[in-house]
Amino acid sequence: MTRTYSPPLALAAVLAIASPCQAFQLAVSQYGRVTATLPWAVAIEKGYFDAAGVKIDQVISGAGGGTTLRNVLASDLPYGEVASSAAIAARRSGLDVVIVNTSSSHIGEIALVADPKSDVRTVADLAGKKAGYTAPKSTSDVLLHLALKEAQLSGKVEAVATGGFGPGVTALMTGAIQAAPLIDPQLTLEPDKFRVIFKFADLIPRMTWLVCITTREFAAKNPELLHKLIAVRRRAVDYIYQNRDDAMQIYAKVWQQDPKQVATYFPKYFGYDGEWTHGEFDKSGLAKMSQGLELVGDVDQPVDWNAMIDQQFLPQDLQKPL
């Protein structure tokens, strides 16, 4: 059972010391919803956690943002995968969290779409109209503001929080907004239902939007466990690239999609540089995230990533200057 976040639970998680035989819940933002989370599914299906001596009895899939962050802190394993924006927000609220590895520096196939019956065909057509994003200071909020700035439309489009990708589509089709973010499988499998205005990756090819965090207290007391978790994920990423057909089957199973349909859109993800990182940090991707966080008002100056990131748990070959 997933426990509800409360300050005492969070404090207990921070002070937790892992025992060798303990079974954990792993919190992963948007697990089974966004393609970037696939390595954790592969690690479970291929038995990599067991091979590393780490028992994971459940993956908690948060809706993103603060939800997953609270799941991480309320778990006996205060390590998990969250949006970079959520990690920054945690620090700003006084929680002593630290980023120990990345998960994705490419935003995949997410696109801004319009109703094909509308007169919105290009980004310029959004001037004076409403465009949706999932939640305030979320990755989609950052992406939208970065894209509007790139198109010189900052302040000319009303950004509207819709509460998620699904509600965003509903708002789009009812005319409450004129553009909404969309991801696969809908994006590829229903091409006639939506008009793609632009793909965010065409404007923002590199952005470190998904990272793994823990608390400094937990990291200090459980360094070997963190080494193992990062190594498990790296092994899973290698498996994805080396066994593409099987990786697609695992995706279809966990995402509950028809394998034949998955085969029509999944192969493109292998061409994205940084869709699944091995854990390493990319300087340009971090800089773009910082820029986006400034645009949405989450920070008032460039993020001091050196104060947020601890690379000591990464293998030596993945450690890079920031």
φ, ψ for residue 181 (rounded to 5)?
A: -80, 145
Average pLDDT, stretch 150-166? 93
Cβ atoms 90, 69 nearer than 8 A:
yes
Q: Tell whether domain 7-105+207-318 is in CATH 3.40.190.10.
A: yes
Average pLDDT, stretch 150-169? 93
Give yes or no for residue 226 having a pLDDT over 90. yes
Give yes or no for residue 256 having a pLDDT over 60. yes
Average pLDDT, stretch 24-38? 90
Task: Give the pair of three-digit tokens for residue 237.
Answer: 């990423």
How far is Cα 213 from Cα 216, in angstroms, rounded to an integer?
9
Give yes or no for residue 13 having a pLDDT over 50. no
- Residue 55 CA: distances (Å) to CA of 37, 40, 80: 19, 13, 15
Cβ atoms 78, 45 nearer than 8 A:
no
Give yes or no for residue 62 having a pLDDT over 70. no
Q: How is domain 111-203 classified at the CATH fold level?
A: D-Maltodextrin-Binding Protein; domain 2 (3.40.190)
Average pLDDT, stretch 94-105? 94
Give yes or no for residue 5 having a pLDDT over 60. no
Residue range(s) of every CATH 3.40.190.10 domain in the chain: 7-105+207-318, 111-203
Packed helices 66-74 and 84-92: angle between N→C axes, nearest 10 degrees: 70
What pLDDT is recorded for position 254?
96
